Structure 1
Amino acid sequence: MNKTWIARAGLALGAGIALAAGIAAPAQAADVSAQLTDPGGRLIAEIIHHDADDVFTVHDWYRDGHGVRGSLYLVEDGERVLLESVYNGLGSGEFTTFEWNVLSGQQYVMEVCSVDGANDPEANDCVFEEITE
């Protein structure tokens, strides 16, 4: 056999394997956040989806006497279905977390709200952000 032909076949095989591995590897989306700010632009609360490990952090950034609630919804047929909701009443600069396996091909909405306690049914202000995998 010709050594040049063997070398070319090896390169082609290696390129094919690399291409297949690239296609088969799951895509990692960037971290996504929803940030609630006051009228002056000061950050009050935030929910962040950390894509690498599907962890959500709910931050209370402002000492205003309010807690914050972070929620995750699945969007099905245009309707939001609540998957998880956590309250953070730990104080300014603190955060709580929850995990949710965000699946490819699904549409989700995460939301963060300023609330007056863990059982407050009416949020003061809210913001949301859509996420997909």
Structure 2
Amino acid sequence: TDNAYELYSDETLEADDKAYFMKVQDIVSAAVDETKFLLTVDKMRQAKTISTGNNPVETVEVLGDKYILNKVERASVLRHFIIDNDFSQFGLVNAVTRASQDVDNYNRATELERIGGTILEDSIKSIKQNNLVLLPRDLNQDLGIA
């Protein structure tokens, strides 16, 4: 009550205010983090609905050309893409990020993980813009995309 506050020092009241606002900040941070998490999960769900076509070799070649992957990286991405048998954009993201674990160079592995995230973002942008992404070159040309 108001009388109780008269008993507390300014330092105690300041600490009490600080604790209260820290609790509010924690609640807001948790809500924002949960929102970010749910948005990421939604992006992944959407990426599962986007097919990369029926030729994983060509898909990985297009990916390799776009993101400058060397032959070893392309082979690793292709191997994981085929083993996982998920030829959606989500499967491609997983193949790229899994291939990053096969790379000895930390900086390059981190770059491959970033590329995986970029593919996910590009997939969602393509849905919003009704564009197709990472199709084999000849199909892109047939559709007038390349």
- With normalisation by structure 2, the TM-score equals 0.31
Specify which structure has the higher proportion of helix: 2
* Greater Rg by CA: 2
Specify which structure has the higher proportion of strand: 1
